[in-house]
Structure 1
């Protein structure tokens, strides 16, 4: 099942687009604190609140061995060992940007692309995500697990592994909550109609839009559909 997951990622570095990306079935949405202020001004608050499923952290492996082939080998061998450690510790890895997918022993050598490190001469780097379940809703404990994992991660040769940016959280398959979101919108529309009396009705449109999201707390995400609601006189 994990191999089927895709992840639409809100940029860990805080350079996300102003609007959330649409969610598709089995996507895993990664949300960081940068989304809270951006999204708050755009959301009317009609939706459902859900505890996130994972705590997430982006990490980078740097290598600066003088020989380019040796450098690549040290970086990728470090990633391999990190994946193996993750299997033992229950920490999952993922790769990519925008849409990210599981990083495994079977695909890491092909999927990770080494980039030149602008800040360090004769060095290269790769980045990926690590994540741990938020089953108990304790964000601090989950972040501590990720930090401990990074500290314990093996380094091969001159390779170095570091956390990049702030940690985030993720929610798996947000489209499964569409029915619950529609129910919340319907309840809000019904309440609005009652406020204006029997001579008025409510029109709701744009309900086919994708499920979107915004961070509302350390481990809480508001899932919503950006719809339009109008109170109109009955014919």
Structure 2
């Protein structure tokens, strides 16, 4: 009975930490985060636990660059704006396609009001460009091929004006919307693993989870799936120690 009480107390402590630790302030619930490989390396490999919750990513994204090299600047800017407006119109027709801006690995909103500020000089003379994100929502029955195919098809069918081109930049990435909402599920998985680990040693042992104040972390676990985890470690010791 004593070991059960200690385990219950440990579980309650873990749940309290999940509500009050720094991890809860890591992002607003509506933030859309770009998943990159660097996220997994944020903590030492020895602190990355076995317990993770697998979750399908919310969106697959690709960065695109709309470029134009029409010599006359005024016409060049108009051609760029006209092509980007076509991007916006085409996206509005397709409920599976959306647009956004990439800012420090957080996807922001994108609309026509941003056209003037987003067009910049390109590396070549008489050339300008605009860069933004095209994304598609990921369904349960999606494969990597179907999801990437939607983005590729969208880019191809947008009408280009004048000397503009739409180029894909880099590779496909995944996003996660509102990571903080998954923290309770990860905490529950850790608590269940802690109970089983303590039970394997017998009724005279107790378990403590250390590190639950860390932020929720994630890494790519498959073509369209993410593994969500909290870096922590378990300490199992005899009762009373």
The alignment's TM-score, normalised by the length of structure 2, stands at 0.78
Offset of residue 129 of structure 1: 0.6
1:179 aligned counterpart, secondary structure:
helix
Match runs of 1:1-235 below 5 Å:
22-31=26-35, 34=37, 41=45, 43-90=48-95, 91-98=97-104, 99-105=106-112, 107-109=113-115, 112-118=117-123, 120-135=124-139, 136-235=141-240
1:23-55 CA deviation, whole Å, 9 max, x = no partner? Answer: 4311222225x4598589563231210111222
Per-residue Cα deviation, 1:8-34 (whole angstroms, up to 9, x for no partner): xxxxxxxxxxxxx944311222225x4
Q: 1:125 to 1:157 in 2, by over 3 A?
A: same
Cα deviation, residue 200, structure 1: 2.6
1:216: Cα distance to partner? 0.5
**1:162 positional shift:** 0.7
Alpha-carbon displacement from aligned partner over 1:175-219 (angstroms, at most 9, x marks no partner): 211111100010111122123333332111332332221100011
The answer (yes or no) to whether the contact 2:55–2:226 under 8 Å persists in 1 is: yes
Distance 2:205 2:38 in 1: 36
Q: Which has the higher helix share?
A: 2
Q: Deviations over 1:103-150 (max 9, x none)?
A: 123x3325x5233322x3321211111111211232211111110111
Structure 2 CA distance for aligned equivalents of residues 114 and 161 of structure 1: 14
When residues 227 and 36 of structure 1 are mapped into structure 2, their CA distance, relative to the original with a 3 A threshold, is closer
SS in 1 for 2:89: helix
Number of corresponding residues: 211
Conservation of the 8 A alpha-carbon contact between 1:36 and 1:215: no
- Aligned 8 A contact 1:202 1:230 in 2: yes
- The alpha-carbon distance between structure 1 residues 24 and 213, as it changes in their structure 2 partners (threshold 3 A), is farther
Tell which structure's C-alpha radius of gyration is larger: 2
Q: Label 1:116 to 1:45 Cα distance change in 2 as closer, same or farther (>3 A).
A: farther
CA distance in 2, matches of 1:39, 1:131: 26
How far is the alpha carbon of 1:102 from its aligned partner?
Answer: 2.0
- Structure 1 length-normalised TM: 0.80
Q: Secondary structure at the match of 2:206?
A: strand
1:11 — aligned with what?
A: none
In 2, the alpha carbon distance for the partners of 1:66 and 1:185 equals 60
Partner secondary structure for residue 100 of structure 2: strand
CA drift of 1:70 comes to 2.4
Q: How much is the aligned-residue C-alpha RMSD, in angstroms?
A: 2.4
